[in-house]
Amino acid sequence: MAGVTIRTDSLSRSQVRRVALYAQGFGNKRPTGRVDRRHLRKVLDHIGLIQIDSVNVLVRSQELPLFARLGPHPRSLIPDATAAGELFEYWVHEACHVPVEQRPLYGWMMTSHPRWKSMREFAAERGDLIGSVLDRLRVDGPLVASDLEMRDRPKGQWWDWDDGKYALEHLFRTGEVSAYRRPNDFARMYDLSERVIPADVLDQPMLDERDAKKELLVLAAKYHGVGTAADLADYHRLVHTRPLFAELVEEGRLLSVEVEGWKQQAYLHPDAHLPRWVRARALLSPFDPVVWFRDRAERIFDFHYRIEIYVPKPKRRHGYYVLPFLLGDELVARVDLKADRPAGRLLVQGVFGEPGIDEEEVARELRDELDQMAAWLGLEDGVAVMRNGDLAPALAATC
């Protein structure tokens, strides 16, 4: 795509939007033919990881970044790539699918990440349990946590793990054990890393913490195009990174840049591209990298966004599972979606436009995107629009 020269002294907000969206893969046209793992690899070249979430009111969130960038595609792409040893699961931004060649960047996390101090303390106290769980995996092969049956108290909230689950999660975070998802119920399957991760990857030396963080910050700059120190650190949930930015600028691996309206110093990847325009159209997962850091979404798109899954229904403003709608280089609407699988319908439970939009144009483009999504999800009765939200009448009129 044709671009314009980026001035490294300052960027306007519209330029930042285009740089950021291009970096995230929205400068590319969706494929028109058969979609396969080559397309998945191209998406991962732009976003680096795919966050996993279990909520399935529409479709599990990890499938949505691919739909946003590729349109309809085989829903087996991620499981197939995992089975082929191209992806592995790890706690990065949160639980994520990550290209397996990046595993050496996370060795320091496996030994000393501050998030997991309590797990290391647990393992130090319960070395006998950790050893027995490893022995069980060696003998019996892949396990889900329930196979260990170690609960000795009533189950409380979601994260009230029993000791067996805690042991497996500790081993998962240390890298001795790897995991993938069981297809029928999404449960995490644990197995020895040597049976999950390709040997040539396991044999690679791990980078030390400082060097790994620098590599991850540069990757985050590549995926974001431009961002603040907080934006780039958040991509892989890094802490204690401030001193590294001056080094990366001195080394020429990041460029300092001022952004219109931003109080914070921004950093530009040297290979960032500024297209003349971005003609994107996509429904974005709440956990898509374009919007997952809410402060960044507000700075770039003037889009205040909060996911309301955990908000009591009477207090929700826009709905339970609300996807931002990207059109061109703007976030123009919010769409509360649900897959009504028994009825074979994609329910638009609410749709809300942003100020100043052309409602007819947005409704028309959104309807086409929703029709494609319904077909992709196998919802044969198509799209049903509820009368909730200021954009609902215009969207209903497209039926």
| C-alpha to C-alpha distance for 226 and 242, rounded to whole angstroms | 16
* Residue 344 included in any domain: yes
pLDDT in tens, 97-126: 999 999 999 999 999 888 888 888 888 999
The count of other CB atoms within 10 Å of the CB of residue 140 is: 10
> pLDDT band for position 157 (50/70/90)?
very low
Residues 210 and 187 in one domain: no
* Residue 111 included in any domain: no
Residues 191 and 126 in one domain: yes
Q: What DSSP line would sit under 99-142, residue for residue?
A: EGGGGGGGHHHHHH-GGGHHHHHHHHHTHHHHHHHHHHHHHH--
* Residue 297 included in any domain: no
Domain limit, last residue, from 258, 275, 292: 275
Q: Return the pLDDT at 156.
A: 40
Paired with 325 in beta bridges are 283, 333
Domain limit, last residue, from 254, 275, 296: 275
Nearest residue to 389 (alpha-carbon basis) of 321, 332, 327, 318: 318
Q: Using alpha carbons, list the distances in angstroms from residue 203 to 209, 272, 346.
A: 18, 32, 46
Domain limit, last residue, from 180, 197, 214: 197
pLDDT in tens, 304-313: 999 999 899 9
Q: What DSSP line would sit under 39-81, residue for residue?
A: HHHHHHHHH--EE-----SSS-GGGHHHHHHH-S--TTHHHHH
Residues 38 and 182 in one domain: no
Note the Cα 86 to chain centre separation in Å: 17
Instruction: List the CATH number of the domain containing 180.
Output: 1.10.10.10
Residues 167 and 241 in one domain: no
Q: Return the pLDDT at 118.
A: 86
Orientation of helix 127-140 relative to helix 117-125, angle to 10° = 90
> pLDDT band for position 148 (50/70/90)?
confident
* Residue 94 included in any domain: yes
| C-alpha to C-alpha distance for 379 and 35, rounded to whole angstroms | 20
* Residue 372 included in any domain: yes
Residues 175 and 153 in one domain: yes
Nearest residue to 238 (alpha-carbon basis) of 216, 222, 256: 216
| C-alpha to C-alpha distance for 32 and 166, rounded to whole angstroms | 45
Residue 140 has pLDDT above 80, yes or no: yes
Residues 328 and 361 in one domain: yes
CB 77 within 8 A of CB 318: no
Average pLDDT over every residue of 127-142:
92
Residue 5 has pLDDT above 70, yes or no: no
Residues 249 and 391 in one domain: no
Number of domains within the chain: 3
**Over the chain, what is the mean pLDDT?**
93
CB 259 within 8 A of CB 11: yes
Q: Return the pLDDT at 9.
A: 75
Residue 158 has pLDDT above 60, yes or no: no
CB 77 within 8 A of CB 41: no
DSSP-assigned letter for residue 25: I
Q: Return the pLDDT at 2.
A: 58
* Residue 131 included in any domain: yes
> pLDDT band for position 161 (50/70/90)?
low
Residue 183 has pLDDT above 90, yes or no: no
Write out the residue range of the structural domain in which residue 374 sits.
Answer: 306-397
| C-alpha to C-alpha distance for 194 and 199, rounded to whole angstroms | 7
Among residues of the chain, what percentage have pLDDT more than 70? 95
* Residue 76 included in any domain: yes
Average pLDDT over every residue of 344-370:
98
Residue 3 has pLDDT above 70, yes or no: no
DSSP-assigned letter for residue 253: S
Residue 4 has pLDDT above 80, yes or no: no
pTM: 0.94
Residue 219 has which token pair?
């990757």
pLDDT in tens, 373-399: 999 999 999 999 999 999 999 999 997
pLDDT in tens, 40-83: 999 999 999 999 998 999 999 999 999 999 999 999 999 999 99
> pLDDT band for position 150 (50/70/90)?
low
Angle CA 382–388–393, to nearest 5: 70
CB 235 within 8 A of CB 272: no
Q: Return the pLDDT at 136.
A: 94
* Residue 299 included in any domain: no
> pLDDT band for position 365 (50/70/90)?
very high
